[in-house]
Amino acid sequence: MAEEPETEPEIEARLPEQDSFEPPESFVEQANVTDDPRDEFDENWPQCWENAADKLDWFDGYDEVLDDSDAPFYEWFVGGKLNACYECVDRHVEDGRGDATALSWEGEEGETREYTYEELLDEVQAFAAGLRDVGVEEDDVVTMYMPMVPELPIAMLACARIGAPHNVVFAGFSADALRTRMENASSDFLVTCDSYYRRGEKLDHKKKADRGAPDEATKIVVGRFERYVPTDGEYAYRELVTRHEGASVEPVERDAEDMLFLMYTSGTTGTPKGVKHTTGGYLSYAAWTSHAVLDLKPEDTYWCAADIGWITGHSYIVYGPLSLGTTSLMYEGAPDYPTKNRLWEMVEGYGVDVFYTAPTAVRAFMKWGTEHPESHDLSSLRLLGTVGEPINPRAWKWYYRYIGGEDCPIVDTWWQTETGGMMVTTLPGVDEMKPGSAGPPLPGIDARVVDESGDEVDAGDAGYLTVHKPWPGMLRTVYGDDERYLSEYWETYSDEDADEWVYFPEDGAKIDDDGYITVLGRVDDVVNVSGHRLGTMELESSIVGVEGVAEAAVVGGEHDVKGEAVYAYVIVEEGQDTDDTFREEIVDAVEDDIGPFARPEEVVFTDALPKTRSGKIMRRLLEDIASGDELGDTSTLRNPDVVKDIERKLEK
Ligand code: PRX
């Protein structure tokens, strides 16, 4: 007879009660880092970052660790020469590890593929030759718009090999979003895919790619299920690779500061920003943090259940783990397809050692019930991680108890697209863990919590997270827009006259007496939906683009699984119906302009928006309404009645 699922109180009763946890002894015994290097890094800053650079085999050593003469346009490992593909592939083959598995892949329907480092090297060289064949030259930006298939990391590595920066656009983005990113990056090449399955449904990805790509773009198309037959101006990936089978393509020597890739992300202002990452600093930082925080070792099977279309996948599916010679597991599909056991079947089947995911996933696992992880042997796991949004203590404890079996440390890693790698987190073999708090800054990272005037806040008080020293993985600029780089990240807290530069990530935070930082969330107009960063301005401009909409305000409201959900408050033009058809039209517009993952949870039609007497929309109030929170003082409003009206509509 099947066992009855546990009840909520039973699950709750089995969660650990304490507020802090020591790293398990069994983990410490084999951890990569067991002595806290923070003091040593502080005393020896910036030379301490040689620890990161030493994770790589440079073609030519660098002359200087940090050049800060043109701050905040910092340069790292100046004069050094390397190739990111060589670091991630060739050198492991040269070291005799050609037979070790580099990539293990599983498709949603259950197909599997595996590439040893040797096989990866062959395929990457063949595709690199193919890229050259279709006209890609060093420094050309190549865009990739494809789902989680092995050809994606292969294409990234092939680009890195020939010195062509990549620009990966998440496959869930719309055609319009693809176009904006290709145009901004002046990218004439697109590697894409014909179709893929998502929850059993076949999606025509090529159609979106065709609509989004500029007409003159050269396309290379991966046939996901069958041979792709190219039309004019297109190439089939497989044909190119077959044509160049056995090719030997030397990895080009790149300067440490040469661009490795661009990644677009959202901020307060309308258009997405092209975050520029370089070869030497980024790769050293990805490798060092994978070693120190994810504790990766070459013999590990490691699974980061993110998508390569976001920075987490770049740093911690591709560059970090492969630079360390680890086996990186990739999964194409949904975590609950065909059943809610999928992930645990995979952890058990592949013997996953280290698992890294987003808190939104953990909250979904909690909802699905303990019977799924409990019916699988998860004892191969030795370390768990989270990224992308704050994790509430209850979800942390659930993850610790039901996935980690109270035997795996959890690293709650705070970082951003712009930081390139992890910045604030515990070191798993060193630091005590406090659920809900990411932890202290990593060695060499000078992160603080300050008030509006830049003074450090007292322990327990809320303030703004700031970073007071540069680090190798940092972005170098906003592509093509140095002014925006300065104004978005540096202007708020830096003192230019004193040459004191402070990076502002636009997150709110608190710090405790032990220096542990709890990140509270964005303080700019960005919503974090399931760990996806969405600019409210982008959403608003999409909504006001719909005929019949007069004004719109978008905010994030608390959501028990997604963290935040998109709430759109919309004022329509006179005569416009506010029925479900029009609501659907608005939702469709957001899907078309950005992508399905940005769909508003609620579209609330209202006659007015709450505004101050000076006419500013009170966003905080709209957020509180969306989250169902107590509303504070509304007496400063010009139109207090509107608040009640909106609340009433949302209750329905
Ligand atoms: O608000 C912070 C949140 O995610 C933002 C960065 O988003 P993105 O550039 O898309 O990168 C996500 C993956 C690195 C941050 O500004 N964030 C990220 N990690 C955490 C977090 N908030 C709280 N705790 C975290 N561990």
Does ligand 1 lie within 6 Å of residue 389's CB atom? yes
For the ranges 49-53, 265-269, 353-357, 459-463, which has the lowest average pLDDT?
A: 265-269
Check pLDDT > 90 for residue 13.
no
Q: What is the dihedral of CA 468, 256, 187, 542, to 10 degrees?
A: -10
Q: Which atom of ligand 1 is nearest to the CA of 519?
A: 23
Does ligand 1 lie within 6 Å of residue 545's CB atom? no
pLDDT band at 651 (very low <50, low <70, confident <90, very high): confident
* CA 13 – CA 530 distance, rounded (Å): 27
Does ligand 1 lie within 6 Å of residue 390's CB atom? yes
Check pLDDT > 60 for residue 237.
yes
* CA 138 – CA 331 distance, rounded (Å): 31
The predicted pLDDT at position 650 comes to 84
The predicted pLDDT at position 652 comes to 58
Q: Which atom of ligand 1 is nearest to the CA of 505?
A: 16
Q: Which of 528, 529, 532 is the pocket-test mutation for ligand 1 (most atoms within 8 Å of CB)?
A: 528
What is the domain partition of the chain in residue ranges? 117-252, 526-651
Q: What is the pTM of this model?
A: 0.96
Omega prior to 72 cis, within 30 of 0:
yes
The predicted pLDDT at position 3 comes to 61
Architecture of domain 117-252: 3-Layer(aba) Sandwich (3.40)
Q: What is the average pLDDT across 152-157?
A: 99
Does ligand 1 lie within 6 Å of residue 359's CB atom? no
pLDDT band at 363 (very low <50, low <70, confident <90, very high): very high
| DSSP state letters, 22-67 | PPPHHHHTT-S--S--HHHHHHTTTGGGHHHHTTS--SB--SEEEE
CB burial of residue 68 (10 Å; 0-12, 13-18, 19+): middle
Q: Which atom of ligand 1 is nearest to the CA of 522?
A: 1
Centre of ligand 1 from the C-alpha of residue 162, in Å: 31
Q: What is the average pLDDT across 203-213?
A: 96
What is the percent of the chain where pLDDT is above 90? 90
Check pLDDT > 90 for residue 467.
yes
Contact 620, 612 (CB under 8 A): no
Centre of ligand 1 from the C-alpha of residue 517, in Å: 13
Q: Which atom of ligand 1 is nearest to the CA of 391?
A: 24
| DSSP state letters, 470-524 | --TTS--EETT-HHHHIIIIITTT-BTTTTB--B---EEEEE-TT--EEEEEESS
Does ligand 1 lie within 6 Å of residue 417's CB atom? yes
Contact 98, 219 (CB under 8 A): no
| Residue 54: closest CA among 253, 292, 261, 278 | 292
Q: Which atom of ligand 1 is nearest to the CA of 521?
A: 1
Q: pLDDT (tens digit, 9 = 90+) per residue, 167-187?
A: 999 999 999 999 999 999 999
Q: What is the average pLDDT across 189-217?
A: 95
Contact 341, 372 (CB under 8 A): yes
Check pLDDT > 60 for residue 2.
no
Check pLDDT > 60 for residue 607.
yes
Centre of ligand 1 from the C-alpha of residue 295, in Å: 21
What is the percent of the chain where pLDDT is above 70? 99
Centre of ligand 1 from the C-alpha of residue 416, in Å: 5
In DSSP terms, which residues pair with 553 in a beta bridge? 569
pLDDT band at 233 (very low <50, low <70, confident <90, very high): confident
* Class of the CATH domain delimited by 526-651: alpha beta
The predicted pLDDT at position 318 comes to 98
The predicted pLDDT at position 7 comes to 81
Q: Checking DSSP bridges between strand 507-511 and strand 517-522, what pairing results, if any?
A: antiparallel
| Residue 356: closest CA among 415, 298, 299 | 415
DSSP for residue 264: E
Place of tokens 């044509």: 243
Q: pLDDT (tens digit, 9 = 90+) per residue, 58-90?
A: 999 999 999 999 999 999 999 999 999 999 999
Does ligand 1 lie within 6 Å of residue 387's CB atom? yes
The predicted pLDDT at position 309 comes to 97
| Dihedral sign (CA 555, 558, 559, 561) | positive
Q: Which atom of ligand 1 is nearest to the CA of 533?
A: 10
Q: Which of 387, 424, 449 is the pocket-test mutation for ligand 1 (most atoms within 8 Å of CB)?
A: 387
Does ligand 1 lie within 6 Å of residue 104's CB atom? no
Helix axes 619-627, 641-651, angle to 10 degrees: 30
For the ranges 181-190, 260-269, 343-352, which has the lowest average pLDDT?
A: 260-269
Q: pLDDT (tens digit, 9 = 90+) per residue, 105-132?
A: 999 999 999 999 999 999 999 999 999 9
Helices (H) and strands (E) in the chain, counts: 23, 30
Check pLDDT > 90 for residue 189.
yes
| Dihedral sign (CA 239, 245, 247, 253) | positive
Does ligand 1 lie within 6 Å of residue 37's CB atom? no
Position 533, amino acid: R
Does ligand 1 lie within 6 Å of residue 522's CB atom? yes
pLDDT band at 435 (very low <50, low <70, confident <90, very high): very high
Q: Which atom of ligand 1 is nearest to the CA of 417?
A: 9
User: N- to C-terminal Cα distance for the chain?
Assistant: 42
pLDDT band at 1 (very low <50, low <70, confident <90, very high): very low
The predicted pLDDT at position 644 comes to 87
The predicted pLDDT at position 10 comes to 84
Paired tokens of 367: 């909802």
The predicted pLDDT at position 310 comes to 97
Contact 190, 220 (CB under 8 A): yes
Mean pLDDT score of the chain: 95
Contact 154, 125 (CB under 8 A): no
